[in-house]
Amino acid sequence: MTTEVTSIGPTPPREAEIPRIVRAHGGGGELMGRLIRDHLLPVIGNDCLSALGDGAVLPVLDGVPVMTTDGFVVQPLTFPGGDIGRLAVCGTVNDLAMMGARPVALSLAMILEEGLPMATLDWIVASISAAADEAGVRIVTGDTKVVESSGRTPGMTITTAGIGVRAPSVNLGPGQIRPGDRVLINGTLAEHGLAIMAAREGLEFETELTSDAAPLNGLVAEIMRFGDAIRFLRDPTRGGLANVLADVAEETGLGVEIEESALPIRRSARHAAELLGLDPLTVANEGKCVIVVAEDAAEEALAVCRQHRYGRDAAVIGRVTDSCPAVVELLTTVGGRRIVQRPYGEELPRIC
């Protein structure tokens, strides 16, 4: 396993007179026009967005339209491996990918807090642009509001919505899952949530923990070539792997057996989780995908994953079974069994 080190945002500005977001930037007037013209369009502009109408006209969609949305409230705004902008783009792109859809267009609504340094906003907008380019989607329409600051450090929230298109033949969902199917994950677990917590608590580890935030539409496009052998895709964000597998058990009425020894968890993540008292199975990921695949296609699908940039550490971690009630069981390294429960609430606030 490799660790990718990514720079973590601008140096926090110290001067009192640096340019900052003020109320009037959200007022729909001249100053908001300048914010859009000078800070947003030069970075994320394109034919659609730059028309600046009440909305965007898209090309006619060739297939079944899919729509999704997500709000992002992560703190801090920048962290090792990413920032709220990359997270917002990846989160929405991934939700579309999990539906078997090719992302086509994103909307971007930002609620900025008064006092947010313009340099921070510029950084985040650049990151949005880079992530959208990587995923091959365009930001086609947007909205900006400004509100008073809620804390000592002015923050922001981002809500993205996405439109994708999928082939009419795609048939994904819990209803497709059969006993004997294998459960794959495309890489190592828990790094996003742990990186955020470590950044927030000021913890440092020998090996840097970085968020795994990544757009998975490319990987999913490869995987979808297996057709109906791919039963179900879901990204284990809030609530982590435990939550997704609990969904699978609940929605299928089948059991899920996971092998502890097969779970790809980096030593640094395991160490951080212990230190923070967290179960890596319930920690959020932002570049991971649970793939339920027919038994006879599992090895090939694994090989395809491993060929991909975001699938190098992919592993088959378990299987679906009808031999036990509809629960998720972990077969531990010492030969025991424990039931994996869905987390009750939020272990990690403002993690995405």
CB-nearer residue toward its own copies: 268 or 352: 352
Supply 258's token pair: 């996971």
Task: Map residues 261-300 to x or -, x wherever contact with its own copies holds by CB under 8 A.
Answer: ---------------------x-x----------------
**Residues 292, 232 contacting (CB under 8 angstroms):** yes
* Residue length of the chain: 352
Contact, 97 vs 233, CB < 8 A? yes
Residues 140-169, interacting with its own copies (CB under 8 A): 140-151, 157, 159, 161-164, 166
Q: Which residue has the tokens 């895709």?
A: 233
Q: Please, which residue, 141 or 268, has the CB nearer to its own copies?
A: 141
Q: Is 217 in the site for its own copies (CB under 8 A)?
A: no
Considering only residues 65 through 104, tell me which ones interact with its own copies, judged by CB under 8 A. 65-73, 94-96, 98-99, 101
> Element (H or E) spanning 305, and its range?
helix 298-307
CB of 249 to its own copies, least distance (A): 13
Task: Determine how β-strand 255-259 pairs with β-strand 328-331.
Answer: parallel
23 part of the interface to its own copies, by CB under 8 A: yes
The single residue among 15, 17, 30, 204 that binds its own copies, judged by CB under 8 A, is 30
105, β-bridge pairs:
138, 163
Residues in 305-344 at the binding interface with its own copies, rule: CB under 8 A: 342-344
Beta carbon of residue 144, minimum distance to its own copies (angstroms, whole number): 8
| Of residues 97 and 268, the one with the C-beta less far from its own copies | 97
- Residues 32, 119, 275, 327: which binds its own copies (CB under 8 A)? 32
Q: Are 72 and 157 in contact (CB under 8 A)?
A: yes
> Rounded to the nearest whole angstrom, what is the least distance from the CB of residue 103 to its own copies in the complex?
10
Taking contact as CB under 8 A, which single stretch among the options 138-146, 270-278, 319-327, 330-338 is the one that binds its own copies? 138-146
Sign of the dihedral defined by the CA atoms of residues 52, 55, 60, 65, in that order: positive
Using a 10 angstrom Cβ sphere, with 0-12 exposed, 13-18 middle and 19 or more buried, the burial of residue 288 is buried
Residue of the chain from 26, 81, 255, 280 that contacts its own copies (CB under 8 A): 26
CB 108 within 8 A of CB 49: no
> Nearer Cβ to its own copies, position 41 or 61?
61
Q: Are 113 and 146 a contacting pair, CB within 8 Å?
A: yes
Count residues near its own copies (CB under 8 A).
Answer: 81
8 Å CB contact between 69 and 162 = yes
Stretch 167-186: interaction string toward its own copies, x if CB under 8 A: ------x-------------
Those residues with Cβ within 8 angstroms of residue 242's Cβ, 6 or more apart along the chain or in another chain = 279, 281, 282, 328, 340, 341, 342, 343
Positions 220 through 239 that interact with its own copies (CB under 8 A): 234-235, 237-239
